[in-house]
Amino acid sequence: MMELSGLISYAVFFLTLVGIYAILTLGLNVQWGMTGQFNIGIAGFFAVGAYSAAILTTDRADGWLGGFGLPFPAGLAGAILITIPIAWVIGRITANLRTDYLAIATIGIAEIIRLFFLNESWLSNGVRGIPGISKPFGLGNTGYLFLVVGLVVAVYLLVEVARRSPWGRVLRAIRDNEPATAAAGKNIAHFRLQAFVVGSCIMALAGALYAHFVGFISPEAFRPLYGTFLVWVMLIAGGSGNNLGAILGALVVWLVWSSTEMLAGLMPSGLVASESAFRIFLIGVLLQIILVTRPSGLLPERRPPLPGRDK
Amino acid sequence: MWIEVTQLFLNGLLLGSILALGAVGATMIFGVLRFAHFAHGDLMTMGAYFALLVVVGLNLPVMVALPIAMLMTAALAVGIDQVVYRRIRRVQPVILLISSFATALILRAVVQMIWGSSNQVYATGIQLPWRLGPLTIKPDHVLIFCTATLLVIAVHLFLSRTRMGKAMRAMSDNMNLALITGIPADRVIMWTWAIGGALAAAAGVFLGMDTRLHPVMGWTLLLPVFAATIVGGIGRPYGAIFGGLLIGCAMELSTLIIPGAYKPAVAFAIMILTLIFRPQGIIKGAL
Amino acid sequence: MSLLTAQNVYAGYGEADILQGINLQVGGDEIVVIVGPNGAGKSTAMKAIFGLVPIRQGHIEYVGEDITNQPPERMVARGIAYVPQEANVFPSLSVLENLELGAYSISGDITPRLEKVYEIFPRLRERRQQQAGVMSGGERQMVAMGRALMIEPRLLMLDEPTAGLSPRLIDETFERIREINALGIGVLMVEQNARQALGIANRGYVLAGGANRHEDTGPALLADPDVATMFLGG
């Protein structure tokens, strides 16, 4: 019986993280899959969301900003409200950059956000991080899983409705043929900025959920590997542009990522000095194989027909 | 005050010459292959550790290990291109970008698996700094700066005097015309990786001499290196040298005003300003 | 024997073929001009011959050998040189470097070739250290043609060599093309200045809608009232 309950609690833990990653991947899908914005600063918005929620909802703060003790929904709303102006400013500056410039710019922004949380102790308690972020409504792990799954479904529906709406069609038109879309009288910078802000807010939401789930956050959690790289692997593996693919990608890649832990455990310890490095190595190789052999992912994008593009 | 500024300026020149070596390679890869190589910082790390391998394994001084590490890293870069990048070059530039991101993590993981995550140095012991009046200069720093200058001159001679160097500049200028002219693109691409890899290795070794070796040493320099390529104008090696020195000095001098932890942010700010106001690079004309 | 023959060529980028079965011939000492309205497929025809646009049907023969869909490198090795209409110099390289790269595939001393190009375009000798990107349109065209001549081609393909030039420079360019042809180099060119081009051409083709519409000697096409009203602007 002990084993079974251990297995169930591991499954709950596992699926909650999958859910949080699924939300991150859906956010990235709005930016990359739908609009073609190459954001590799996901970790930055993830961190802003997590810190916002932590600061707003914790009961007590020893020398850092916080202790407001606001309820959980206020934390989520706060995370999103704080992200909007940040993403808006970043988007205003970067939205018209070419893909590779945008990539460089966003990775820089994510690093600076991390440096900020690392060095501004008055705000974030620096390296030591913020502890004591509780789960809402007295929920246990299982209850929280249902809450996360509910939000995954909500975000999925929201993004899916957006994708099929005229707004989503314009975004895809920008991605596929920018000059033609501009010629059709669409304000490209405007639409891009909107997509960037919406995607970033979804990422911040995931950050807030993550903070409440693990109960403690520090800048370490927002290194590019966990915050950015895995999300990209998930979206590419699942099929960029396809929202269901994004969720599937989160599940499959997190499964693979977790099983590399076991695989690394099987390796003789003398052979591999660092277990986590071995796991990163495996996941990196996996991504390369996907990119070389199946660049459109497990579930390739199914495009709703664009008006005026029929052959 | 002025003593401090001069000292920081000298430090900036040192950091700048390391950045310039990385940026020249990155800008050539950017120019010829049209993508930002996100594993460039980790190629620097690889180069530094290859040199450590030679220093520890063969008990040779680091300056002797340098050319060996450069050759090994050049071979590694060409190898990565042949195994991975070459296969996806024709798909979409963005796939290349993601792939190079994966390469970055793989290289870093390899370094951690083989050499571990703790700090390492080429040589233990303290070097006595030279005193020039109120200024202090480490002999190693002079060595690094001079070798970096020699390497930059060598790159200049290669680009301006050899057929392959001119072909490389031509491909960076106008890929289509290069093909039409009958320049063998695949060979030029191989050479670009080889030289980019070798220069990255040199940058990594110098960084290791100046501070210490660590698996993320190159990654943390990636942003300033990219900033240098953008400030100098993409695909322009001479611009990248200038960009490297500018970014290096700006990063060091910024510590007069803001905490040192934000040095990368200074590089980033200069880069963003360049992208907004002068996307072709700071210097006018085609340097 | 003809130098170049294109037979019933279908080619294009996407699903639809831009070229719908064109036929062309260039003799070893000829100047052949392709004229026609915008979108007729003139430039595409040049690119298809040179292996830059995939040919789906039909084939290209060069001195009796099949060269259909071969990469540009092989075209250059066989002695075919191509000057595209736009972006036809390396802007950050000097004039001399542009010319040197033209002879990239040539091993050995290239000085005699350089001298020949300087003889045709004396201005390039004067400005050999100049960066090509800062030169005038006419000078850039000289650099581009000079670069192509460095392989000592048997066939020179020019895509609108006079586009954007002043009337005086247009005359001069056509004069140079005649000189080059007189050296025994076959010339195939696309031209918008159709009247003048046909004036120096041995033969001409009128393309429309990706297919041959008329073909004849230069003077005959100029005299043809049908061609004149439809394609030469009255």
Question: Can you give the pLDDT at residue B286?
Answer: 44
Q: Which two tokens stand for residue B208?
A: 């290791």
Q: Please report the beta strands in chain C, taking only residues with DSSP state E, as ranges in sequence order.
A: 2-11, 19-27, 31-35, 55-62, 65-66, 80-83, 155-159, 186-190, 203-208, 211-217
More confident residue, A98 or A88: A88
Q: Does C152 touch chain B (CB under 8 A)?
A: no
Question: Can you give the pLDDT at residue A304?
Answer: 46
Enumerate domains of chain C plus CATH numbers: 2-79+153-231 (3.40.50.300), 87-152 (no CATH)
More confident residue, A300 or C22: C22
Cβ-Cβ contacts under 8 Å, B166 against chain C: 93, 97, 100-101
Question: Can you give the pLDDT at residue B287?
Answer: 41
Q: What angle do helix axes A188-214 and A141-164 make, rounded to 10 degrees?
A: 170
- Domain ranges, residue A145: 15-223
Domain presence at residue A35: yes
Q: Does B167 touch chain C (CB under 8 A)?
A: yes
**Cα-flanking dihedrals φ and ψ of residue C3, to 5°?**
-80, -50
Question: Can you give the pLDDT at residue A1?
Answer: 55
Q: What is the pLDDT of residues C83-106, one digit of tens each?
A: 999 899 999 899 999 999 999 988
Residue A215 Cα, gap to closest chain B Cα (Å): 27
Please spell the DSSP secondary structure of chain B, one letter per residue. Answer: -HHHHHHHHHHHHHHHHHHHHHHHHHHHHHHHH-S--TTHHHHHHHHHHHHHHHHHHH---HHHHHHHHHHHHHHHHHHHIIIIIHHHTTT-HHHHHHHHHHHHHHHHHHHHHHH-SS-B-SS-S-PPPEEETTEEE-HHHHHHHHHHHHHHHHHHHHHHHSHHHHHHHHHHH-HHHHHHHT--HHHHHHHHHHHHHHHHHHHHHHHHHHS-B-TTTTHHHHHHHHHHHHHH-TT-HHHHHHHHHHHHHHHHHGGGTS-GGGHHHHHHHHHHHHHHH-TT-SS-S--
Q: How confident is the model at residue A180 (pLDDT cuts 50, 70, 90)?
A: confident
Domain presence at residue A142: yes
Rounded distance, CA A62 to CA B151, Å?
52
Domain presence at residue A109: yes
> Residue with structure tokens 């403690």?
A216
Rounded distance, CA C81 to CA C88, Å?
12
Domain presence at residue B286: no
Residue A25 is which amino acid?
T
Question: Can you give the pLDDT at residue B53?
Answer: 95
Q: How many domains does chain A have?
A: 1
Rounded distance, CA A49 to CA A84, Å?
11
The torsion region of residue B156 among left (phi > 0), alpha (psi -120 to 50) and beta comes to alpha
Of chain C residues 158-217, which have a CB less than 8 A from chain B?
A: none
Given a contact cutoff of 8 angstroms between Cβ atoms, the answer to whether B111 and B215 are in contact is: yes
Domain presence at residue A256: no
DSSP A163: H
More confident residue, C14 or A195: A195
- Of B183, B236, B285, which has the smallest distance from its Cβ to C104's Cβ? B183
Supply the mean pLDDT for chain C: 90
pLDDT at A155 over 90: yes
More confident residue, B49 or C108: B49
Q: What is the pLDDT of residues B153-188, one digit of tens each?
A: 999 999 999 999 999 999 998 889 999 999 999 999
ipTM at complex level: 0.90
Rounded distance, CA A218 to CA A226, Å?
13
More confident residue, A250 or A179: A250
Domain presence at residue A280: no
Burial of C79 (0-12, 13-18, 19+ CB in 10 A): middle
Mean pLDDT for the stretch of residues C226-232: 75
Rounded distance, CA A21 to CA A202, Å?
11
Domain presence at residue B287: no
**Cα-flanking dihedrals φ and ψ of residue B254, to 5°?**
-65, -25
- Mean pLDDT is lowest, of B34-43, B253-262, C4-13, C225-234, for C225-234
Domain presence at residue A152: yes
Dihedral of the alpha carbons of C216, C222, C224, C225, in degrees to the nearest 10:
150
Q: Pairing between strand C2-11 and C55-62? A: antiparallel
Given a contact cutoff of 8 angstroms between Cβ atoms, the answer to whether A284 and B84 are in contact is: no
Q: Nearest chain B Cα to C99, which residue?
A: B181
- Domain ranges, residue B11: 2-116+134-277
pLDDT at A138 over 80: no
Q: How confident is the model at residue A152 (pLDDT cuts 50, 70, 90)?
A: very high
Rounded distance, CA A21 to CA C183, Å?
70
Supply the mean pLDDT for chain B: 90
Question: Can you give the pLDDT at residue A2?
Answer: 60
Do A104 and B264 lie within an 8 Å CB cutoff? Answer: no
Do B264 and A101 lie within an 8 Å CB cutoff? Answer: no
Domain presence at residue B238: yes
Domain presence at residue B283: no
Rounded distance, CA B255 to CA B226, Å?
21
Domain presence at residue B250: yes
DSSP bridge pairs for A252: none
List Cβ<8 Å contacts ≥24 apart for B1-6.
B3/B134, B3/B135, B4/B256, B5/B253, B5/B256, B6/B135
Chain A interface test: which of B49, B91, B106, B219 (most A C-beta within 10 Å): B106
More confident residue, C38 or B267: B267
Q: What is the pLDDT of residues A231-272, one digit of tens each?
A: 988 888 888 778 888 999 999 888 888 888 777 777 666 555
List Cβ<8 Å contacts ≥24 apart for B57-63.
B62/B122, B62/B123, B62/B205, B62/B208, B62/B209, B63/B143, B63/B147
Question: Can you give the pLDDT at residue A67?
Answer: 77
Residue B166 Cα, gap to closest chain C Cα (Å): 7
Question: Can you give the pLDDT at residue A297?
Answer: 67
Q: How many domains does chain B have?
A: 1
Rounded distance, CA A249 to CA A227, Å?
15
CATH of the domain at B90: 1.10.3470
**Which chains are within 8 Å of B by 3+ CB pairs?**
A, C
